[in-house]
A and B are shown apart, each in its own frame.
Chain A
């Protein structure tokens, strides 16, 4: 299953449109992001404007990416190693399963089409995307690599 839609809209704008955060909160979050860097979703969560799973849910509902909590998810080392650790860390994603020519991954930002393309080039597979929270993915990376 390929990503349902390829959207170029920034995540912050989607969250405002969905009413998860206000425009002012987005502006504040963008200012913090400009200063300290980091992903907008994480900055918003860090500032306490929305929870990480709220953001993930929003993305899931808006664009049809299935949400996958990774807390009690087990992944085989073989599957994980299909994506190098530096790529997983960089894009905040983790490979979950490979069936045939389809690689299933959980990613914090499913709108990052370039990351999906890189995964396609690396694995020579179609990519099936699940949404997960950044902190869950980071914990999984630490656990499985």
Chain B
């Protein structure tokens, strides 16, 4: 390799054209001149010197020939290249002039090609951004659905959507205001990039039209006819999009995205992202509303099939009114699996649920059909004992306790309490409070 490098270093091919021409001219002119001067000065020139001079002159001419041949070769190659790209070579006899024109054509072509390439790469980049934005939007919606199926509280999902919306449409602020069905008021449901108190203040300004308009409002470089400039000023922004959240053709809230960038304009894509998010928020709102309804309508406990706590509270109130009207007592019995935690640690959650289920079955079987059994917590059962006073209820409780504990061969420990209307309270709340605070402390527990 070093030899090759050495060879290359002294190779005439490696030299520039100018240098080669200089060498060739030197060889062709200098040597004959030396020979002529030598000859006219009367000195003897041997035949060998003449031959050597002739060879050196030939070498010079050969170098000149090589230089021109290489130019012609470059010219011919350039012509071919020009032909390949569909351009005609200029009709000039002088190859050097022609080559100059060809180079000009090729360089201008190359320039335009480079510009095109730049354009393409820019477009590809834009396309990539658009695709990644769409992927982000879709993945956000999928993630929101996933959180939804994991039964995360709606507020957390909305907060997640607001956060993502702010990132996707590159806004400073994003928040949504939703109708609270219980209070009938529009309330701040989630927010990002702004202080909650600030938004609350804006809601207080009673922009009620904003929640009824049913259409999108935009404030940016192009759209200046925005009816809620006061709202924008309040938020300290100059760009704002207010998208309605519609559920069953009724506006249930607004989704707001805002920024303070100069010369900003909401793109069609931005608005379609906002609409997509508002549709998803509407689904969450509707789901929340239906869940509330289902909860309100549900009266049975999912595990035991007994009445749930909400129903027991309501029913106890009714029974107490009835018992007062008929001057009869009414009792509330609480029965707690007192070693439930240990049982759960020992046998696991599935077996523990089975235990509660079976206990509930025996508990219900031990009561009269007119009594109202329920579940009042993880391991606590209860019953409204119609027209039973404390003494009678304690007897029932003792019997039930024995029956259940015997059934589980004393692996289960129960404790109970009894509260009676009118002795221990005159409202359901008082009776429940009494029973809860006396569970496991009544005399009946000790004697059993």
Contacts and interface: CB of A to CB of B under 8 A. Distances in A.
A87 B422 contact: yes
Interface string A106-123: 001100101101100110
A117 B389 contact: yes
A39 B361 CA distance: 36
B391 interface: yes
Nearest to A36: B325
Interface residues on A, range: 10 to 19
Given A114-B392, A118-B420, A92 B426 contact: no
A49 interface: no
B429 to A, nearest CB: 14
A90 B325 contact: no
By CB atoms of chain A within 10 A, which of B323, B327, B329, B420 has the most? B327
A37 B325 contact: yes
B328 A86 contact: no
Contact of B423 (A92, A109, A122): A122
Interface of B: 322-329, 387-392, 420-423, 426
By CB atoms of chain A within 10 A, which of B323, B387, B422 has the most? B422
22 contacts: A37-B326, A39-B327, A86-B422, A86-B426, A87-B422, A90-B323, A90-B327, A91-B422, A92-B327, A108-B327, A112-B327, A114-B328, A114-B388, A114-B389, A114-B392, A115-B327, A115-B329, A115-B389, A118-B390, A118-B423, A121-B391, A121-B423
A92 B391 CA distance: 20
Contacts of A115: 327, 329, 389
A4 interface: no
Given A37-B322, A114-B392, A117-B389, A91 B423 contact: no
A121 B322 CA distance: 23
Interface in A76-129: 84, 86-87, 89-92, 108-109, 112, 114-115, 117-118, 121-122
A2 B387 CA distance: 22
A118 B322 contact: no
Nearest to A37: B325
A74 to B, nearest CB: 25
A90 B325 CA distance: 8
B422 A114 contact: no
A115 B390 CA distance: 10
A132 to B, nearest CB: 14
Interface string A18-36: 0000000000000000000
Given A108-B327, A112-B328, 7 more contacts: A86-B426, A87-B423, A91-B327, A91-B422, A114-B389, A118-B389, A118-B390
B389 A90 contact: no
B343 to A, nearest CB: 34
B433 to A, nearest CB: 15
B396 to A, nearest CB: 13
7 tightest Cβ-Cβ pairs between the two chains A and B: A37-B325, A90-B422, A114-B389, A86-B422, A87-B422, A86-B426, A117-B391
